[in-house]
């Protein structure tokens, strides 16, 4: 009987590989050309309230694929890679993509609401969002993994979030040239926690039931984010 070929590693987390590849593909032209760098930053970044007032809603999404510098993208992609390889087997590829996009947009919305005149780019809001989802999912007793291993993984994700929040707060207090948008981190993280709550009871269920619960959770989150965006739009377009 012929032996089956081992699956390539990327097939276990295709969405994670795709997201890292897209982020790198957006960054490479910026690295090669100052003109491309200016164009991508101008056209793809989140410009606070301006994109809402001018109808450029797409910036809330494109900004999570844009990075301003090699250290910026290297740090975010390293975190995305590790959290994605851990989270995608739990969420599935579609769930991984949805969680990345929704939590990234949530981070940009909170950033816009707290400092509407400051531009921002980066996948870190989505990275923190994935951490939030994992913190909730890894507490489930229904996962077929030893409890000690789940607790170890969950503690690692919690420490990742805590340490990076502390670093972001320290950079802000020090008023350095390096800028870290902790509000984008917080928005993504809170959205991730909220996404994880309705998924925990069904994570050990049959795949069809879990996918159905994902549709409900992600659809509800998308609707809530639309309401928040519309609320901010009405605030910033109102005459002073």
Catalogue the active-site residues.
124, 185
Q: SS3 of 46, please? A: strand
**SS3 for 240?**
coil
Contact call for residues 204 and 143 (beta carbons, < 8 A): yes
* Cα(59)–Cα(84) distance, integer angstroms: 23
Quickly list DSSP for 114-163. H-TT--B--SHHHHHHHHHHHHHHTT-TTSSS-HHHHHHHHHHHHHHHHH
CA distance 189 to 124: 10
Q: Which of 13, 196, 6 is nearest to 92 (CA)?
A: 13
Contacts of range 39-42, beta carbons closer than 8 Å, 24 or more positions apart: 40/66, 41/66, 41/68, 41/121
């Amino acid at each position: 009987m012929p032996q089956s070929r081992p699956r390539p590693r990327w097939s276990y987390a295709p969405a994670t590989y795709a997201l890292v590849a897209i982020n790198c593909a957006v960054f490479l032209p910026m690295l090669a050309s100052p003109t491309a760098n200016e164009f991508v930053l101008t056209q793809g970044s989140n410009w606070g309230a301006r994109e809402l007032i001018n109808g450029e809603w797409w910036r809330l999404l494109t900004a999570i694929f844009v990075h301003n510098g090699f250290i910026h993208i290297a740090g975010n992609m390293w975190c995305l890679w590790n959290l994605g390889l851990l989270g995608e087997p739990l969420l599935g590829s579609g769930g991984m993509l949805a969680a990345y996009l929704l939590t990234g947009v949530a981070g940009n919305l909170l950033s816009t609401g707290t400092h509407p005149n400051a531009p921002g780019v980066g996948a870190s809001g989505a990275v923190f969002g994935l951490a939030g989802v994992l913190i909730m999912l890894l507490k489930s007793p229904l996962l077929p993994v030893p409890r000690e291993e789940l607790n170890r993984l969950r503690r690692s994700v919690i420490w990742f979030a805590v340490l990076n929040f502390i670093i972001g707060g320290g950079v802000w207090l020090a008023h350095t040239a390096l800028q870290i948008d902790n509000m984008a981190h917080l928005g993504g993280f809170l959205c991730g926690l909220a996404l994880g709550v309705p998924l925990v009871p069904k994570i050990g269920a049959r795949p069809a039931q879990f996918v159905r619960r994902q549709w409900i959770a992600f659809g509800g989150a998308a609707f809530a984010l639309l309401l928040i965006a519309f609320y901010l739009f009405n605030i910033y377009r109102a005459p002073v």
